[in-house]
């Protein structure tokens, strides 16, 4: 069974702008897939359909064996953990402990089991030592890790990361990449950071004008200069990829 199945998904905003047009994609369990594309390509719109934050105009999304429909949203939002680009959109409680406990508590988890979920999630991101601190007192890298912990406490099947390297210094960037690799979850990485995609995701999908225009091994897509140029993607100066470059 696939972790995610997206079938002919389309979405139009109320003003008539079509953000997604016939997107179909399958992601196997344990895969790490980068979603690439220029600004306005529909990347964030796509991933917001995966846990029902947005509702498709047409088409379908299935998480495991469960369709993303209103009746299933509680379980869908447990299965698909979305980590936003800005951790401050996710951290709003007085302490880290309360932020990480918020999701499972809303599912009815209580007492010793809730404590176990919180400790387990913070240990996974190496943030247990800040459990009683205020999130806004933490560094950007620490806040991003705690934001991931809020999702891990729900014990998700799929992790969706929206621009995870944004505003991280080089050390925090490396540490977060290592965390993603160690978690071993099915992961979708929405990013403009092409070297980060190359480091973390063996497979990439390029989205442009709401359509999938390429899907394949990350190293092959990034090495295709004509493809990259056609869809306004550019590797940073000094970073080069060949079709046989190694990936993790």
The vertex-43 CA angle with 72 and 18, nearest 5°, equals 85
- Model confidence band, residue 244 (pLDDT cutoffs 50, 70, 90): low
Q: 91-110 pLDDT, tens per residue?
A: 999 999 999 999 999 999 99
Extract the tokens encoding 4: 């995610």
8 Å CB contact between 47 and 35: yes
The domain 4-230 belongs to what CATH superfamily?
Answer: P-loop containing nucleotide triphosphate hydrolases (3.40.50.300)
Q: Is 2 helix (H, G, I), strand (E, B) or coil?
A: coil
What residues have CB less than 8 Å from 229, skipping those under 6 apart?
A: none
Mean pLDDT of 71-83: 95
Extract the tokens encoding 89: 């959109």
Q: Are strands 18-27 and 32-36 parallel, antiparallel or unpaired?
A: unpaired
| Backbone angles phi and psi of 3, in degrees to 5 | -70, -40
Q: 10-57 pLDDT, tens per residue?
A: 999 999 899 999 999 999 999 999 999 999 999 999 999 999 999 999
- Other beta carbons less than 10 A from residue 21's beta carbon: 18
Domain ranges of the chain: 4-230
């Amino acid at each position: 069974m696939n972790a995610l199945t997206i079938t002919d998904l389309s979405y139009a905003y109320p003003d008539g702008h079509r953000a997604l047009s016939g997107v179909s994609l399958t992601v196997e369990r344990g895969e790490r897939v980068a979603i690439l594309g220029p600004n306005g390509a529909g990347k964030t719109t796509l991933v917001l359909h995966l846990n029902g934050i947005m509702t498709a105009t047409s088409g379908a999304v299935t998480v495991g064996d469960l369709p993303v429909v209103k009746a299933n949203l509680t379980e869908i939002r447990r299965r698909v953990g979305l980590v936003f680009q800005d951790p401050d959109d996710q951290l709003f409680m007085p302490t880290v402990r309360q932020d990480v406990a918020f999701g499972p508590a809303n599912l009815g988890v209580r007492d010793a089991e809730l404590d176990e979920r919180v400790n387990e999630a913070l240990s996974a991101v190496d943030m247990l030592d800040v459990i009683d601190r205020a999130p806004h007192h933490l560094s950007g890298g620490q806040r991003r890790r705690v934001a991931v912990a809020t999702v891990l406490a729900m014990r998700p099947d799929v992790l969706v990361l929206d621009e995870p390297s944004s505003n991280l210094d080089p050390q925090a960037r490396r540490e977060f990449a290592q965390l993603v690799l160690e978690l071993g979850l099915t992961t979708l990485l929405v990013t403009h950071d092409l070297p980060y995609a190359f480091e973390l995701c063996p497979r990439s999908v390029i989205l442009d004008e709401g359509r999938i225009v390429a899907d394949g091994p990350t190293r092959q897509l990034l090495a295709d200069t004509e493809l990259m140029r056609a869809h306004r993607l550019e590797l940073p100066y000094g970073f080069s990829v060949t079709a046989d470059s190694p990936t993790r």
